[in-house]
Amino acid sequence: MNTATPKPYLTGHYTPVADEVTATELTVEGALPPELTGRLIRNGHNPKPGITPTHWFKGSGMVHGIRLREGRAEW
């Protein structure tokens, strides 16, 4: 029986993403102001499946991003 406490950097919104996906024309709930233009890029850890790193900064990573333009989430 494994009684180890889950690593906080591997749970919740930090859970690793197994698939790389390029999504376009994303659905927006509500509205984005048309003047809100730019890119949000997040560089973070993303360990490979089956690998549990011993520290937040060890292991593989992934860059996540979204582009906002003219009230739309393009990618």
Q: Which residues contact 57 (CB under 8 A, 6 or more apart)?
A: 45
DSSP, res 68: E
pTM: 0.60
Phi (first) and psi of residue 47, to 5 degrees: -60, 150
CA-atom Rg of the chain in angstroms: 16
Give the model confidence (pLDDT) of 17-59 as tens digits.
888 889 888 888 999 999 999 999 988 888 888 888 888 888 7
**Hey, what amino acid is at 1?**
M
Distance between CA atoms of residues 53 and 61, nearest Å: 12
pLDDT of amino acid 3 = 56
